[in-house]
Amino acid sequence: MKNVILTLAVLVVPSVAFAQSEAGNAAAVEAWLKGYDAAFMAKDLDKLATFYHPDVTIYEGTGINNGWADYRDRHLGPELKAFTNLQFGHTETRVTMMPGGQSAYATSRYTIKAKMGDRDLDSEGLETLALIKMPDGSWKIRHSHTSSRARRPPAQ
């Protein structure tokens, strides 16, 4: 009986430690993503660069960007420059750590509202981010896939 209890203790303690570590990593990633939202709202491309892996792939609608420089120069940079009265944020974020703790994926809802010239943008969407942990401990977006639609007015 003593051996059975000892065996159970050996099996349970690492599992609890792993679950606590996984929860801590997930909370850290969620906090990191709040920093992303702040950098986006500030339209700070230098700060946003710190969130992306240089070889990131971005799938947005039917568009594809390969690498941070491509995304920055041909997509995100021009958009941010054109936005006025920007409102942006993520909700319902869920972070799932992958075995080993060196990668994760995050799913969330996002909303974006802005004026672009004469056009009003008011959209909501879903996002999946594939994240990797770098040797220095920082997280980087390795792949992003978003979908969006114009927000519907509330039912009358």
**How far is it, in rounded angstroms, from Cα 65 to Cα 63?**
7
pLDDT, one tens digit per residue, over 18-55 is 455 666 778 888 899 999 999 999 999 999 999 999 99
Cβ neighbourhood burial of 131 (10 Å; 0-12, 13-18, 19+) = buried
How is the chain split into domains, by residue range? 2-150
What average pLDDT does the segment 82-98 reach?
95
What is the reported pTM?
A: 0.81
CATH architecture of 2-150: Roll (3.10)
Structural contact between residues 45 and 118, judged by C-beta atoms closer than 8 angstroms: no
